[in-house]
Structure 1
Amino acid sequence: MGVRHVKATNAAGTRTKIQVRDFDAAYTDEPASLGGTNSAPSPLETVLIALVGCDGVIINGVAKAMSFDYSGVDFACESQIDVRGPKGVPGIRPYFESGKLDITVYSNEPDERFRKLCKNVEFRCPVMNLFAAAKVDMTVTWTQKPAADYNGNVD
């Protein structure tokens, strides 16, 4: 079983300093419009970051297992939340109501193999499955474009 460790501190404000393994500290904050200092992504934005990051890792693993050749992936993700939920309004859940995830895979693989990759990623991705378990109404759209069209840079 994989164990993850995170330590954090919050000085009675909206900004939280987070330490994971031996990486530089990460931070979360809220936008100024919600009483924060807008110095870092919000905690819910980091959930979306986790979703696209996890999908990237799982796509890579599934592609290797399938010998699926691809040159890169682009993601666009958004979510909707009823802001009354985190304020404690009864009957309103304090997390995402819905979300939209667009995944563009740059590959020249046949459509049948592309669909198999998509199905396996959706089955295996831990964060995507957390959204499903929370009954977040997620719309996931997969698109395939030619491998030569990828121009992303992760550095």
Structure 2
Amino acid sequence: MDSETINRTVEAWETDPEKARSTPTVTARSENGQAIIAAGPFTWRADLPEPLGGTNQAPSPTALLLGALAGCAVVFVRDTLGPQLGIPIDSVSATVRCDADARGLLGLDGAVPDLRGLDLQVAVATPAGEDGISEIARVWQQRCPIYLALNNPTEVAVRFHAGTDA
């Protein structure tokens, strides 16, 4: 994106905030031992490692979650924040890691299934230097929905029911 596109979007959404609201929806179904995940026209797969009963033929849900965070860092910085803040971006890359103990997924004593110690590293190549990078980091942490969902308590309503469709 460029700053003109961002500015037109800001103007349109300030005039009519309803145009900016949405309800992103993702579905998943089981097929051949994997989850087939869909969002609009896009589909991808998720699987588990063999020790957890999967076939290890697609990224794990953990990898997809971490990928959402790293991906949001890259595209949001490059396509939205750089142009909006007037900071030229030459390139962006991100790596995210966490601590996980798969024993927790099997209910083994002394292990928890949740992810801990998420660590996101973002490299931004810009002629704006450290001041520009600091500004991008500050604004990104205020606005990135993936980061905010992971970093702030987010209630998830969960309902299991009998049937074939969720």
Which TM-score bucket, shorter chain as reference?
Answer: 0.7 to 0.9
| Rg (Cα) greater in structure | 2
Greater relative contact order (Cα < 8 A, sep 6+): 1
CA change 1:91–1:122 in 2 (3 A) is farther
Query: Which of residues 77, 88, 91 is equivalent to 1:72?
Result: 91
- What letter matches 1:10 in structure 2? S
Q: Which has the higher strand share?
A: 1
What is the deviation of 1:103?
0.7
CA RMSD of aligned residues (A): 2.3
TM-score normalised according to structure 1 size: 0.75
Is 1:129–2:148 an aligned residue pair? yes
Deviation of 1:90 after TM superposition, in Å, equals 7.8
Q: Would you say 1:45 and 2:79 are equivalent positions?
A: no
Structure 2 unaligned segments of length 5 or more: list them: 1-20, 155-166
- Whole-angstrom distance in 2 between the partners of 1:89 and 1:34: 13
Letter in 2 for 1:57: V
- In structure 1, C-alpha distance between the alignment counterparts of 2:104 and 2:67, rounded to whole Å: 21
CA contact (8 A) 1:58 1:124 kept: no
Identical aligned residues as a percent? 26
Q: Show the counterpart of 2:4.
A: none
Q: 1:127 to 1:30 in 2, by over 3 A?
A: same
